[in-house]
Amino acid sequence: MDVQDVVSQQTAMVPAVAPRISSLPPEIVAYILSFVTSTAVLATAVKVCREWYANCVEALWSTLAPTAFSQLVSIAHNVATSSKNRLLLNFDFGGSATVLRFVKKIDLTKVKYFDSEPTAALNRILFHTTNLQVAQFDNCLWIKSETIAPLVNCLRLAHLSLSGCAQVTSLPITQMPNLDTLLLAHCERVVFNERVVAELCTDRLKHVHIPIYYLKSSTATVAALLRRFASSLENLVLDSLLVHAQQSDFSAAAFENAPPLPNLLELHLSFCAVPDSTLAALYAPRLTTLTVAGSHEVDAISLSTLVKSKPHLRTLNLPLRPLSDSDAIQILGLTPDSGPAVQLETLNLDYVPALTDEFVYALDSMSNLKCLSLKGNINISDDAAIWVSDRFPGIQFFYDIDAMELAALLEESDDD
């Protein structure tokens, strides 16, 4: 039996089983239909029973997955042109929003190419998804500003991710009162400045990721962002690139006069060269995750003060920082006279070549450690790496070691 025969059988079965399960809760029916991959079967299922249409369309199309993008177009067309369903007789893919208005999430992060006119197709869909709440277009290199222009009508949009969309220059976000997540990593041409920040009508921006190395007046933009959304910000990511760090106009002035950030949970700074003393003065009592990556000068005293003043801090990432053993030990409070050690769960000190076994063995008092990354640290011995695995059972440990050599070491350890 070929695929066409299977589809034909499934399609024929739908009218027979519809009366039996149409009385089920819409969530259950939607779950059942989620296993059906045939466009014809789905179209028949929606057409055959008014109750299914009334109760299940919203559940079925609340998420538009990457693999269902082309199916949605086909189903909408098939249902619209069928005389069996009076509810959708007026549906026109280029006009009515009968089906598309139920879509709440579009995720195209895994879709790299479409067969034909992807920009125009997505533009037409976005024009009708007025109830859209989540739009994820990560690394969709074909998306342009005009492609996402219809998002200006999506007043319920809360999550917009355009990371990697290098052709996007302008953002249709100023009239979105519910916007709380804006992700623009690696958007090389995007215009995001003080004026855009001032024109945003949302007061609830929580998660922001902006590429400061591409922005003009990045210092003023970040300062305006901190002032405008001081009370709502929960996750702030500012990233530069090592190759652009010297060219960026970003400076620590953006944080020097920053207002209190009472709800900030995560702060990630990559190659921003913000002095440790400036960060130590930042008021963010609920901070749980801190990333300060880069090769700028280390102020161990300030970092130690910062870490100890954040009782909720559980993740500390300091990759590429020029730390010595004594610096790292001081920052984490691992000396006998520094009081209780900082109880981190995740610690990342990748590519800090000055670290040696002395630091590794000093981690003994960090009983809550669940994840440790020491990649690229050539002065840490294999014996110290084995000690970490023994001292912290079940830990996620990232360390550069030859697989064969590790197996031999473990075998020797078992023999002992």
Task: Kindly tell me if the per-residue pLDDT of 39 is higher than 50.
Answer: no
CA-to-CA dists, residue 236 to 6, 188, 208, 214, angstroms:
50, 19, 5, 17
Strand partners, 292: 269
Distances (CA, A) of 382 to 297, 369, 405: 29, 19, 9
CA distances from 159 to 63, 85, 154, 177, 234 (A): 14, 34, 11, 12, 14
Closest of 287, 286, 232, 277 to residue 255, by C-alpha: 277
Catalogue the long-range contacts made by 77-83 (C-beta closer than 8 Å, 24 or more residues apart): 78/39, 78/40, 78/43, 79/43, 79/46, 79/47, 82/43, 82/47
Distance, in Å, from the CA atom of 140 to the CA atom of 142, rounded to the nearest integer, reads 5
The pLDDT of residue 22 is 53
Q: Cβ neighbours of residue 349 under 8 Å, at least 6 residues apart?
A: 318, 319, 321, 323, 328, 355, 373, 374, 377
The mean pLDDT value for 113-134 works out to 71
| pLDDT tens-place string over residues 330-362 | 999 988 777 676 789 999 999 998 999 999 999
Q: What is the pLDDT of residues 181-229, one digit of tens each?
A: 999 998 888 899 999 999 999 999 999 999 887 787 889 999 999 999 9
Instruction: Check pLDDT > 60 for residue 389.
Output: yes
Model confidence at 161, pLDDT cuts 50, 70, 90, reads very high
Average of pLDDT values for 379-383?
90
**With bands split at pLDDT 50, 70 and 90, how would you rate the model's confidence at 267?**
very high
pLDDT confidence band for 363 (50 / 70 / 90): very high
Q: What are phi and psi of 317, to 5 degrees?
A: -120, 115
pLDDT at position 36 is 54
Q: How many Å separate Cα 2 from the centre of its chain?
A: 41
CA distance 1 to 25: 34
Q: Is the pLDDT of residue 257 over 90?
A: no
Instruction: Return the percentage of the chain with pLDDT > 90, whole number.
Output: 42
Q: Residue 388 is inside which H or E element, if any? A: helix 382-391
Res 16: pLDDT: 54
The residue among 256 and 117 whose pLDDT is bigger is: 256
How confident is the model over 58-89, as pLDDT tens digits? 544 455 554 454 555 555 555 445 444 333 33
Q: Strand pairing of 105-107 and 134-136?
A: parallel
- Say if residue 143's pLDDT is above 70: yes
Lowest mean pLDDT, pick from 109-123, 241-255, 369-383? 109-123
pLDDT of residue 6: 45
Rounded percentage of the chain residues whose pLDDT exceeds 70 = 66
> What domains are defined for the chain?
3-318 (3.80.10.10)
Residue 265 has pLDDT above 80, yes or no: yes
Is residue 130 over pLDDT 70?
Answer: yes
Q: What are phi and psi of 336, to 5 degrees?
A: -60, -30
pLDDT of residue 350: 93
Of 24 and 85, more confident: 24
If you average pLDDT over every residue of the chain, what do you get? 78
Q: How far apart are the first and last CA of the chain?
A: 61
Question: Could you tell me where the DSSP H helices lie in 289-371?
Answer: 300-308, 325-331, 357-362
* Mode of pairing for the β-strands spanning 105-107 and 63-64: parallel
pLDDT of residue 250: 83
Predicted local distance difference test score (pLDDT) of residue 289: 97
Between CA 130 and CA 140 the distance in angstroms is 21
Q: Assign 373 to helix, strand or coil.
A: strand
pLDDT of residue 3: 41
Give the predicted TM-score (pTM) of the model.
0.76
How far apart CA 30 and CA 60 sit, in angstroms, is 6
- Which pLDDT value is given to residue 111? 58
Could you tell me the CA-to-CA distances from 247 to 13, 66, 193, 214, 272 in Å, in that order? 65, 37, 18, 10, 11
Q: Is the pLDDT of residue 409 over 60?
A: no
Cα–Cα distance for residue pair 82/98, rounded to 1 Å: 14
313 φ/ψ sector (left φ>0, alpha ψ -120 to 50, else beta): beta
